[in-house]
Structure 1
Amino acid sequence: MHASHLLEDIARKGGALNGVIVLDLTRVVAGPYCAMILADLGATVIKIENPQDPDLTREFPPFSQSSGTPESPVSGFFAQYNRNKLAAGLDLKQAEGKRLFLDMVAKAHIVIENFRPGTMDKLGLGYAVLKEANPAIVYAAISGFGQSGPNRTRPAYDSTAQATGGLWSMNGLQEEPMRVGTVLGDLSAGLYAAIGALAALREAEKSGIGQMVDVSQQDSIVSLTENAIVTYTETGKVTVPTGNGHPFVKPYGRYRCKDGYVFFGAYTDKFWREACQTFDDHEMANDPEVATMAQRFEQDIYERKVDPAVRRWCGKYTKAELEQMVGDRFPLSPIKGIDEVVADPHLKERNMLVSVEYEQTRFSVFGNPVKLSRGTFESDARAPGASQHNHDVYLDWLGLERPQYEALLARGVI
């Protein structure tokens, strides 16, 4: 493939978002994850980084054990979140960089940024300016607290969102709150931004008018708190950590088996009968005190009869034996370590472990959970080196003359 035809080749590859051009100004996780989803779905995503200060996750662990050097690590973290993207250097603080970016906006469909609110306005590149360059542009802004409100300019990380959105206070053991063990504030904000950007794009395609998509990490976390908000507003009860159980559904939680733990969720009447039959427990099956779901939800009955029975059932078998015994009869799942997740044949069949190449190194990373019958593009993807596609973006797509391109390169604008 001739390098100058790279953008055209990508546009021809097909996909649900074929032909959609996304300018990705984001760093770290929330924004790159949003752009990665769009790229997997067929969009042409151009990752724009300051030539002197590229995305710091290029130096995040884990690093390849097979290539690279301590002075030049190859990051699997970066590869995972930046697959299927082109990379172009651009210094937005320089006047020439601002003009180039506006020229790019005029030819693009979506801009994604995850700076602190006000940063793009200070650069002279806020939404009001971008929509002058392209009235149909969709501007997706991801931030800790959103583009409005008294906390809008506060710095934020994932844990900020988990703390202020209430999730931290609900999670963990009964004794104290605990952060969820993944960057759920970042990831959920990225997902919502992708949904919002696609909704806004659909309207822009019909009306020719774009809009801002304002996604807050705190808002995203609040939306993941299940029934905690309505429970408080209706009853005044504040949801607190419940460990590995559920506030009212029983039995529904973690149970020890011979070689680890399983999730046991046979709480409906139908599933409870199936469980009693599976474990050949005629006493429980015929006990009138545990005959209905409402009875089993009662804390006293649960502690005296239901919980001991489930512990007895699970404690006799290994995870694999329990999974084999139960099959499709009722919800019971082994609690898997990441090593077991990676080895899961079901996930492999669903392409949830894919290969990404970055800096001549291959990493196995998670796939895309969105499965389209006409295909997505996360398998055998590549992540770009810093400014790797300057030539393709500025000469081929944007149409700069070579002398202008060489001058901008020499001055560090691109």
Structure 2
Amino acid sequence: MGHSEMAGALDGLLVLDLSRILAGPTATQLLGDLGATVIKIENPKTGGDDTRSWGPPYAETPDGQSDLSAYFMAANRNKYSVGADLSTPEGQALVRSIAAQADVVIENYKPGGLVKYGLDHATLCAAHPALVYCSISGFGQTGPNRDRAGYDLMAQGYGGIMSLTGAPEGPPMKVGVGIADVMCGMYATIGILAALRHRDATGEGQHIDLALVDAQMAWLINEGTNFLTSGQEPARRGNAHPNIVPYDVFATSDGHIILAVGNDRQFRAFCKAFDRPDLAETPDYETNPKRIANRGALSKAVSETLSRVTRDAALEILQAAGVPAGPIHSVADALGSDQAAARGGVVEVPHPQTSAGSVQLLGNPLKFSKTPVQMRAAPPRFGQDTERLDTILKAHKK
């Protein structure tokens, strides 16, 4: 992997990654992007991280035996892959030797699942008091559901977000990507960085106990707080907003747009731009609380107005009027946009073990003025760094 001339913000940090699937790997990929050395432990008996086989699509490899599914590649760049079977004394000894040098351990086994291997937080934190040890599980290390498996879909179901997502008349709907896992990984990263700051100040490591379901409930955000404040169960509104109207997806004559009227001035500007003084002068629509109370009738009037113009014309009119609006891109539109090109939304990373010689990955949105994010290494083939682990660790001797 090697260091380039410019140091990353987390240069010199060693992370032992015992996680798999998405939440833990998202966190460790982010730490790797920021400069940490991440050693990913993968089980030779299962062919490594479960997601290596979650395809197609796969990156093509000359041997035709690709373990680089797109899903795996989404969360595993900037890592070394080391094969070790934790159920064997040799595997345990290998992982303990890395833990002895590591600043951070992250794992997502079922609570108590690593005790029999002597790799649980109590054992390792006692042996290495400066260690930051982060455990991710479905429901946390405590509580009535601690032994239940945690999958993203189950977390979205248990944590309430599915009840808010989808069309009002339709079934509860999950978000289109594993957002409970990804957000849990984000909280894990923040927790690890906070614990490292505390360790640097005091010399003390600590255990971080993080649950997919806890994290998902925490990001119910305004809808969760709406319920706590009013006692009213939030309604499923499709693309509409519980607290602002009109803020929704609307059909034009040839496609859909987003209209996001955030205040009364913008509403009046919308009415003027589309020559609808009747709406501007209707007392029922003059303030946001009144527009919320009369949501149905107003949405119908806005829909009729926008259905008479094309998507591009509507967006042009709204932009000229200073009313927030935007297109609804496909994934191809978004990643192929001039904005994505200007901001590094897609990165091409060399990968000598693929047929193309490189892989395309999603960029990291963080832009640092002093310690830029670096794509030092593409997602690894299974166990590709096992033989040179000693060399990697020697480079990190404290």
State TM-score, norm by structure 1. Answer: 0.87
Match of 2:114 among 113, 120, 136: 120
Partner of 2:304: 312
Alignment of 1:184 with 2:217, yes or no, is no
Partner of 1:49: 42
Matches within 5 A, 1:55-134: 55-64=49-58, 67=61, 71-72=65-66, 74-134=68-128
CA distance in 2: counterparts of 1:135 and 1:107, whole angstroms:
12
Aligned sequence identity (%)? 35
CA distance in 1: counterparts of 2:78 and 2:343, whole angstroms:
19
Match of 2:161 among 156, 167, 170: 167
Kept in 1, the 8 Å contact 2:67–2:382? The answer is no
State TM-score, norm by structure 2. Answer: 0.90
- Matching residue's letter, 2:99: V
CA distance in 2: counterparts of 1:107 and 1:218, whole angstroms:
32
Match of 2:331 among 335, 338, 356: 338
Alignment of 1:204 with 2:204, yes or no, is no
- Matching residue's letter, 2:389: V
Q: Following TM superposition, by how much is the alpha carbon of 1:71 offset from its aligned partner in structure 2, in angstroms?
A: 4.5
CA distance in 1: counterparts of 2:365 and 2:62, whole angstroms:
30
The total of aligned residue pairs comes to: 389
CA distance in 2: counterparts of 1:348 and 1:380, whole angstroms:
20
Match of 2:259 among 249, 261, 264: 264
Pick which of 48-57 and 79-88 moved more: 48-57
CA distance in 2: counterparts of 1:378 and 1:135, whole angstroms:
31
Matches within 5 A, 1:2-21: 9-10=2-3, 13-21=6-14
Kept in 2, the 8 Å contact 1:354–1:378? The answer is no
Q: Secondary structure at the match of 1:22?
A: strand
Q: Following TM superposition, by how much is the alpha carbon of 1:146 offset from its aligned partner in structure 2, in angstroms?
A: 0.7
CA distance in 2: counterparts of 1:133 and 1:385, whole angstroms:
32
CA distance in 2: counterparts of 1:149 and 1:85, whole angstroms:
33
Question: Residue by residue, what CA displacement relative to the aligned partner does 1:182-238 show, whole Å, maximum 9, x if unpaired?
Answer: 111111111110110111011111111111111100011101212343343443322
Gaps of 5+ in 1: 1-5, 400-414
Q: Following TM superposition, by how much is the alpha carbon of 1:154 offset from its aligned partner in structure 2, in angstroms?
A: 0.6
Distance 1:14 1:357, change over 3 A: same
Pick which of 241-250 and 9-18 moved more: 9-18
Q: Following TM superposition, by how much is the alpha carbon of 1:343 offset from its aligned partner in structure 2, in angstroms?
A: 1.5
Instruction: Please give the root-mean-square deviation of Cα atoms over the aligned residues, in Å.
Output: 2.3
Partner of 1:40: 33
Question: Residue by residue, what CA displacement relative to the aligned partner does 1:259-278 show, whole Å, maximum 9, x if unpaired?
Answer: 32111111411211222233
Distance 1:327 1:67, change over 3 A: farther
Distance 1:311 1:68, change over 3 A: farther
- Matching residue's letter, 2:190: I
Q: Following TM superposition, by how much is the alpha carbon of 1:45 offset from its aligned partner in structure 2, in angstroms?
A: 0.9
Gaps of 5+ in 2: none
